[in-house]
Amino acid sequence: MKRSDNKTTPNQDNTFTSDIVHFDRSMPHVNGGVHYPIHPSTQYNYASVSALISVFQGKTKGNSPYSRQGTPTTAVLEAKLAQVEGGDGAIVFSTGMAAITASFLSLLKAGDHIVVSKFLFGNTASLFNTMEGFGIEVTRVDPAEVINVESALRQNTRIVFVETVANPGTQLPDLESIGELCATKKIIYFVDNTVLSPYLFRPKAIKASLVIHSLTKSVAGQGQILGGVVINTGLYDWSTYPNIFSAYRLGDSNKWGLMQIRKKGLRDMGGTLTSHAAHLISLGLETLAIRMDRSSETALKMAIFLEGHDQVKKVYYPMLESHPSYLQAKKLFKAGSWLLSFELKDAENCLAFVDNLNIFIKATGLADSRSLIIPVAHTIFWEMGAQKRQKMDISDGLLRVSVGLEESACLIEDLKQAFDA
């Protein structure tokens, strides 16, 4: 099955899961297997040395000569992920952080400038701190209003980077307006779509140039495998980008950006996804829509319950009418996803409340089939210090929840008894 080219978001797509579960049928059959097989080999044979040379020099497509750049199994996963995001190519990595690090370090050089959201996943924010030490200039803004991004642009700005839904505060950028701005200015618009997944939202619809996912989260979905991906949407004109090496300015210019990331970022930096991991992620992708529908429905019910509780100061969930970006979320997203945060009125009771929960697992991580909870200030944002946490609106009473697949009534009952304890 093949999705129509005129479909821009999965909101309009009634064949999302069918396309995925039947994708392997478009691949060469191996011994009649329904699933494309796992290829564990680290090197591959060629019919002639000229064929090997042609692949090395990028003149023809074929298996990578060495599996650090990918295997037939990872290539199939890349094709699936490109399809579901509406892109024209993808590169998978061993983790989401490997994908984002390789992409930025491959595309930027000392003296370049980037504009990034000030509301970012903690490790991504830490990466940008490290990049400043390499001579890359970083400006952090609140992207909820496009004027903040536009005011930060400079002559040497190369990339604008945002997350579709920020972790843990669920802040939303002005996604459409930033996309228009970047398209006009010919700046790469790099969007992390991990929280929503391509099922709930496709950033290509708001003119993203590159899309990144931690495949560990929504796509794999069961807390058992690490992975990451960067996807080229086909909307950015790479022939205008000044940092593409001459060796990669060959053939279709639309492929130049990914080619440089694959060579400089994957091959040279080595964050390779194994074939076994790629296979497990492919299996997770098959149930993505079912899991996202279920967890989104439950998360909204939980958010409504929490918002009405007298011990809760504030609830952060995009599909609540009280959320500052509710109208944008309703317009662009199929549903709100599994990420929910709430702030207790009594911050000193935060840790005791978490300990009183029976079903929620006290663990970091996101998008597991099990619901997870974590006190944010004491854990994943502890390293940055109180002053920076305050700038990011992270209070000592903030709890982050990754909503799993349990029945909503069970989770809400667990919350009730923890409040009453």
Answer yes or no: is 110 within a domain: yes
pLDDT at 274: 95
Regarding whether 251 and 206 lie in a shared domain, the answer is yes
Q: Which of 213, 246, 278 is the last residue of a domain?
A: 278
pLDDT at 379: 76
Q: Which of 256, 278, 300 is the last residue of a domain?
A: 278
For residue range 152-202, what is the model confidence (pLDDT) as tens digits?
Answer: 999 999 999 999 999 999 999 999 999 999 999 999 999 999 999 999 999
| Domain span at 346 | 289-420
pLDDT at 66: 77
Answer yes or no: is 150 within a domain: yes
Regarding whether 121 and 268 lie in a shared domain, the answer is yes
Regarding whether 331 and 248 lie in a shared domain, the answer is no
Answer yes or no: is 98 within a domain: yes
Regarding whether 341 and 215 lie in a shared domain, the answer is no
Regarding whether 304 and 264 lie in a shared domain, the answer is no
CATH number, position 310: 3.90.1150.10
Regarding whether 295 and 261 lie in a shared domain, the answer is no
Regarding whether 232 and 299 lie in a shared domain, the answer is no
Answer yes or no: is 5 within a domain: no
Regarding whether 364 and 239 lie in a shared domain, the answer is no
Answer yes or no: is 9 within a domain: no
Regarding whether 235 and 168 lie in a shared domain, the answer is yes
Regarding whether 365 and 411 lie in a shared domain, the answer is yes
Regarding whether 300 and 210 lie in a shared domain, the answer is no
Residue indicated by tokens 């099922």 = 199
Between CA 303 and CA 298 the distance in angstroms is 9
Q: Which of 278, 306, 332 is the last residue of a domain?
A: 278
Regarding whether 92 and 224 lie in a shared domain, the answer is yes
Tell me how many domains the chain contains: 2
The percent of residues above 90 in pLDDT, for the chain, comes to 76
pLDDT at 108: 98
Q: Which residues in the chain land under pLDDT 70?
A: 1-13, 58, 61-63, 380-386, 389-392
For residue range 93-125, what is the model confidence (pLDDT) as tens digits?
Answer: 999 999 999 999 999 999 999 999 999 988 899
